[in-house]
Chains A and B, each alone.
Chain A
Amino acid sequence: MLMRIVLPVVVLIAIVLPLVTSGWDAFLTLVWAKALPVLGIILLLQAGQVSFGHAMFFATGAYTAGFVIRAIPGGEIVIALAAAIGASVVAGLLVGVFVVRYRYIFFAMFNLAFSMVFFSLLEKFIHITGGSDGLSIPRPEVLGQAMERSEYEFVLYYLALALLVICLYGVHRFLDSPLGHTLKAIKTNETRIEYLGLSPRRVLLIAYIISAFLAGLGGALVAVFQGIATPEYAYWVRSGEFVFVAILGGTGNVFGALAGSFVFEYIRVTATAYVGDTWQLTLGLVLLVIILFAPSGLVGVINDIRGYLKKDPVASGHNKRPAGKTEKQRGEEQ
């Protein structure tokens, strides 16, 4: 339903918007780009795993794009994005081989550890990466065309939108495939997969590499749009943000990545503009309310509004702690 009706409508609006209004383009370009890593997080969440280190792939993509553009005279955005994808896939494979052995909190922690080492290295190798000031990225050419900022940003808007739509659709299809179903089974009963003669680790590794690719592509897009890549791209707070946005949007559906990304960025920008000194507080409160009162995220809210009393995949979670459930029931009885 979402994929068939809402998404095309949203995409149509997104395509028309820059042609009729101004002032939204820059904001939305970042929304499209930052929805990609969130999509990767949602993919891993299907297997019940959450990574608190995906900012490392975001930064990998960003810095790779930056290095490539600086290395080629004039720079070429297509080559830069391709290189960023390649680098983040390789990084995803290297890190993934280690982390897919772990589950739940260990998986989250291990990703965090890797990303913090990576963050420190980006700050350390100042002569290569520019240290904490970051790596300046000159405006690249687009298919050999040098552009002014306004046309470049116009192109980037549609490029990011197109890539996002392709990725949303791709991940959606992937989750419907046998592989995707196996991935979801890791969350419910991993041992059963082994009895079926499949390797949960291998399935998770594939998902992990896809999520790293999505994060890397998002990072590369943000970097070429901003004209800079900084170590902060790899910091744990950013990783936390990706997970946050995934929950905010709703993890039951790939569409949550887009909805969450839009709302999160909107709140942040609006809060910074109008409640300057309390933007963190505002953001924190909004997110708290979402988690406490709308556990299936914005997409869930949309679904509820549309009269779908879909069983909520988060609230009814296959809790690994039956005791917790009795706790809850007891609470209800009292």
Chain B
Amino acid sequence: MSLQILVLTVLDGIAYGSLVFLVAVGLTLVFGVMRILNVAHGSFYALGAYAAASLGLVLSAWGISAWFAYPLFIVAAVAVGVSVGGLMERFILRRIYVREEYLQLLVTFAIFMILDNVQRLVWGVQPYFYTEPLSLMGNVTIVGIPYTAYQIIFLPLVALFILFGLRWFLRKTLAGSLIVAVTEDREAATAIGINARKVFFLTFIIGTTLASLGGALDSPTTSVLPGMGADMIVLSFAVAATAGLGQIGGAAIAALLIGLGRSSAVFFMPELEVVVPYLIMVIVLLFRPEGLFGKTTARKI
């Protein structure tokens, strides 16, 4: 029995952690490059979920197989991330790169409020639900307990794919190298002729696309409804801060930590479940203010 409980705790932690990572990774990437904490990140998660659920329902209505939903999720996520994220970067963020951090934070907060409202105007308030992709994959039984293959196999695999894909992209491709260069030393990068503007634009679009991909992938497992972005953003902050802002590999470990913390709470101390992510964040920051994997910033003199 206790071994079973242990296995279940780990599995649930992985399933939840994967999902949180998918959303948080974009936030931390954007911060690493642009030094902007994007509060509207949660809105992109919600928009991605809404877009995916709407497309999925169109599929059902036309009687098309739900297998097409998987590529559609990517299409929906890219469409939302590139269009909304691109417009946001081009017309709003670009004006504030030279401002202080907290002002940038506030601008994204304003956009969060606007997008939240726009969402309601477009999709209304009734929860949306499109579960076919989840049902398609069926269940797997582990230690006698049925799990959905989607949550226990597919999502963690996608998370791993994103993690290693992103690392490969940043290390092995030209665009990725430019991003890294700008992250490491913006001044030097600009001096050798790298167009920081383009790099920022690209980074931001990747970040928002990842957020809406998280939302799209989450949509088969949960109700898509107003206010879903607000909780996710705080959770993503917790993951990013625990790992160290800008740490992509670290975010994966922090997400796993928070996922495991939450599932352990459900199994052993249900009352703590809600507080766990923030408790982990506070405890980590107390001992390592820059996060588990963060680098200390050099002080200017």
A and B touch in the complex (CB under 8 A): yes
| Given contact pairs A284-B111, A321-B186, A314 touches B103 in the complex (Cβ within 8 A) | yes
Q: Bound complex: CA of A325 vs CA of B107, how far in Å?
A: 19
Determine whether the beta carbon of A278 is less than 8 Å from that of B101: no
Please tell me if the beta carbons of B289 and A101 are within 8 angstroms of each other in the complex: yes
Interface size for chain B: under 10, 10 to 19, 20 to 34, or 35 or more residues?
35 or more
Chain B contacts of A45 at CB under 8 A?
A: 102
Which residue of chain B has its CB nearest to the CB of A116?
B278
Q: Is the CB of B196 within 8 A of A327?
A: yes
- Residues of B231-264 contacting chain A, CB below 8 A: 234, 237-238, 241, 245
Chain A residue at smallest Cβ distance from B188: A323
Closest B residue to A112 using CB positions: B237
B residues in contact with A269, CB < 8 Å? none
A287 at the interface (CB under 8 A from B): yes
Q: Is the CB of A323 within 8 A of B275?
A: no
**What 1/0 flags go to A250-291 for Cβ under 8 Å of B?**
000000000000000000000000000111110111011001
Q: For chain A residues 301-334, which have a beta carbon within 8 Å of chain B?
A: 314-315, 317, 319-328, 330-331
CB contacts (< 8 Å) of A315 on chain B: these are: 99
Task: Give the docked Cα–Cα distance between A317 and B102 (Å).
Answer: 12
Asked whether B83 is an interface residue with its Cβ less than 8 Å from the other chain, the reply is no
Q: Which B144-175 residues have a C-beta within 8 angstroms of A?
A: none
- In the complex, B72 has a CB within 8 A of chain A: no
What is the CB-to-nearest-CB distance from A129 to chain B, in angstroms, rounded to a whole number? Answer: 14
Q: Mark B179-202, 1 if CB is under 8 A from A, else 0.
A: 000000011011000001100000
* B275 touches which of A117, A191, A292 (Cβ 8 Å): A117
Query: A280: nearest residue on chain B (CB-CB)?
Result: B117
Residues from chain A with a CB closer than 8 A to the CB of B286 are: 98
Please state if B187 and A243 are interface contacts (CB–CB under 8 Å).
no
Are the CB atoms of A108 and B102 closer together than 8 Å?
A: yes
Could you tell me the distance between the alpha carbons of A159 and B271 in the complex, rounded to whole angstroms? 41
Given A114-B282, A325-B98, A327-B190, verify A280-B114 contact (CB < 8 Å).
yes
**Contact B101 A106, beta carbon cutoff 8 Å:** no
Instruction: Identify which of B98, B274, B278, B279 gathers the most chain A CB atoms within 10 Å of its CB.
Output: B98
Q: Closest CB-CB distance, B193 to chain A, in whole Å? A: 11
What is the bound-complex CA distance between A194 and B182, given in angstroms? 32
* Closest Cβ–Cβ distance, residue B278 to chain A (whole Å): 4
Interface residues of A toward B: which range?
35 or more
**Which residue of A123, A317, A320, A325 contacts B300 across the interface (Cβ within 8 Å)?**
A320
A120 touches B230 (CB 8 A): no
In Å, the complex CA distance between A278 and B186 comes to 40
Q: Bound complex: CA of A120 vs CA of B231, how far in Å?
A: 13
> Which residue of chain B lies nearest to A330 when distances are taken between CB atoms in the complex?
B190
Q: How far is the CA of A323 from the CA of B195 in the complex (A)?
A: 12
**Contact (Cβ within 8 A) A113 B285:** yes
Contact of B97 among A48, A278, A324 (CB under 8 A): A324
| CB-CB under 8 A for A324 and B186, given A110-B285, A292-B92, A314-B100 | yes
A317 and B100 in contact, given A113-B241, A324-B186 (Cβ under 8 angstroms): yes
Knowing A102-B289, A326-B190 are in contact, say whether A288-B100 is a contact too (CB < 8 A). Answer: no
With A101-B289, A236-B234 known as contacts, the answer to whether A285 contacts B114 (CB < 8 A) is: yes
A selection of 22 A-B contacts at a CB cut-off of 8 Å is A50-B102, A105-B35, A112-B234, A116-B234, A117-B275, A120-B275, A124-B271, A236-B234, A244-B106, A278-B117, A280-B114, A280-B117, A284-B110, A284-B117, A287-B113, A295-B99, A314-B99, A314-B103, A322-B187, A323-B189, A327-B97, A327-B197
Sorted from nearest, which 9 A-B pairs have the closest CB atoms?
A284-B113, A50-B102, A323-B186, A284-B114, A281-B117, A323-B187, A280-B117, A120-B275, A116-B278
Given contacts A116-B234, A117-B278, A243-B102, 20 further A-B contacts (CB under 8 A): A50-B101, A50-B105, A102-B285, A106-B289, A109-B245, A110-B289, A113-B281, A113-B282, A114-B282, A116-B278, A124-B275, A240-B39, A240-B106, A244-B110, A280-B113, A280-B116, A288-B110, A291-B110, A323-B190, A327-B196
